Structure 1
């Protein structure tokens, strides 16, 4: 569609290991519209971060990416390393999961903020520093000019994450990928960072892919949600549909793990999903969730169909939601 900023079709990521090939991402497809926030949610190890790294072409050497299409603003990026290198850090930016390891401890905050801007905009140091100071102020950092001469270890975790956000915004990106940007922060700072991302998206008209395992975060910020399990997107749709009418048993199980004010009895037990995520090494057949699913049947050993209802899709043999919607 014309209003899609990013289109991904049939993306897979395979990683060579001593035990065999790990199928980290398995044939996923999705779109991100202009100005939209897509949240990719799922348990740790389900392929969320690998998906973001594949889009940015930042996968480890042992990983191999395959896709029929990765298109950004009508530019094909798959197997176009020079094209994506020219976009990365400019029109495409990423906030990494842990700011202390993403920031170089040997360089000042100012050096790291201005490097990409000077490269992509061919600007002088003065202009780059002015841009950096403006964005540090924009993301809520006081005494922005003084911060430029400081090193990462001199900043708190919350300030380092704000620096990472400012760095991602230096060149005015159209698409921002945030890979669990609040994981290492305390609850109060998490809320501040999420509010900041939401405000920046509105102000600068950015499309946002937010990767998280926190459904509370999803409820506050998402327009659409893609639920991943074992390297696949098993359900996708508008945030209201996912929360109010989950169609896949795994999505329903995730929602049942969340305490609800006024409904969850204090001290009562929350829902759990029994079992563990299956190994993604070697051949995978049928529904990967079947061994943990209370509704599994013999046909779940075959690849499940993708059901579609308006903008809501889910990968399950069941077309109806009554069995899964226990939340």
Structure 2
């Protein structure tokens, strides 16, 4: 890996106009990703994870506003880039696997047509060479009788096969960055494990950077180099996966980890941890820590500006008023 990040994001903000005002869906998030690294973005549904990925790919709706002080992909400003520049990047150097392959694949076109389209668009290859590449990638992602699959339509494949087709489609042009938005959500547990193992193997083989969006911390613990914990549009804790799992600091991060059963430690039948309350509305002015209404460590200072704390020589960043994510002993009521 080089010293220069492949992707560098600073202050990414996404606003959505709604009937009652403006929904501040993503609020000033920062992260970096090196070539070959895996960044996992985790958090509850509605925290802004998918919108972040769509903003990077330039796939937000026309009424949705995105801005950033920096959104650099290997020298290209993703915010200032024209539609033509983004079309050259998407599918070629940046690719995305969406949550639900049945709604992402076009039901009116065969698998083969959809696979080779991006390669014909971005690379100077003939149709026969593109077809051979499609067959090779289908075989690589574990689809048997790959050549015969090219003539099939999406509805003729199972959910697991459609997801494998989506992965093959994303890899047709050997992208530098792969964004996987909860790629195993609609699959059964056995297929989920196969798809994740496949993604990790292909990433290592092609030396891609990968952003995996998920709410499954068990998955994150197995494959992430870096973790970004997202809550109510903010990254409340970011850092190396080992640091965050060994010493989770933000109360929300600790709450998520406490919800996971630990083999050999969690007794059979024991109650798992929970996070009380609901995610607050992000419509209108948002001040203070959005997690304070659900946080057992909340203090009056949580209503004001929240500082960014750092640990491990700046590798781990925490958005919290408490130095170590917990109240000092003198602040805890008797």
1:301 to 300, 303, 306: 303
Counterpart for residue 40 of structure 1 = 41
Whole-Å separation in 2 of the counterparts to 1:138 and 1:177: 19
Query: Partner residue of 1:317?
Result: 321
**Alpha-carbon contact 1:26-1:231 (below 8 Å) kept:** yes
CA distance in structure 1 between the partners assigned to 2:326 and 2:297 by the alignment = 12
Q: 1:2, CA displacement in angstroms?
A: 3.8
Separation (CA, whole Å) in 1 of partners of 2:207 and 2:295: 40
Matched, 1:175 2:152: no
Match of 1:17 in 2: 18
Give the match for residue 78 of structure 1.
79
Which whole-Å deviations, capped at 9, do the CAs of 1:224-254 have from their partners, x for residues lacking one? Answer: 0000000000000111111110110000000
- Paired with 2:188 and 2:261, the residues of 1 have a C-alpha distance of 19
Pairing 1:191–2:193 present: yes
Q: Which residue of 2 aligns with 1:160?
A: 162
User: Which moved further from structure 2: 275-284 or 81-90?
Assistant: 81-90
Q: CA RMSD in A?
A: 1.2
Q: What is the number of residues matched between the two proteins?
A: 324
Structure 2, unpaired ranges of 5+: 329-334
Structure 1's consecutive aligned runs of 4 or more residues displaced over 4 angstroms after TM superposition are: 321-324
Structure 1: 5+ residue runs without aligned partners?
none
The within-5 A match list for 1:57-206 is 57-81=58-82, 82-206=84-208
State the distance in 2 between where 1:142 and 1:213 align.
31
Alpha carbons 1:245, 1:321 under 8 Å: kept: no
2:51 is aligned to 50
- SS at 2:6 equivalent: strand
Residue 269 of structure 2 is matched in structure 1 by 267
Instruction: Report how far residue 323 of structure 1 moved.
Output: 5.8
Q: Counterpart of 1:80 in 2: which secondary structure? A: coil
What is the CA deviation profile of residues 283-316 of structure 1, one whole-angstrom value per residue up to 9, with x for unaligned ones?
Answer: 0000000000001000100121000112111000
After TM superposition, the score normalised by the length of structure 1 is: 0.97
TM-superposed deviation, 1:123: 2.2
Alpha-carbon distance between aligned partners in 1 of 2:255 and 2:218, rounded to the nearest angstrom: 15
| 1:224-243 map, 5 Å | 224-243=226-245
| Structure-2-length-normalised TM-score | 0.95
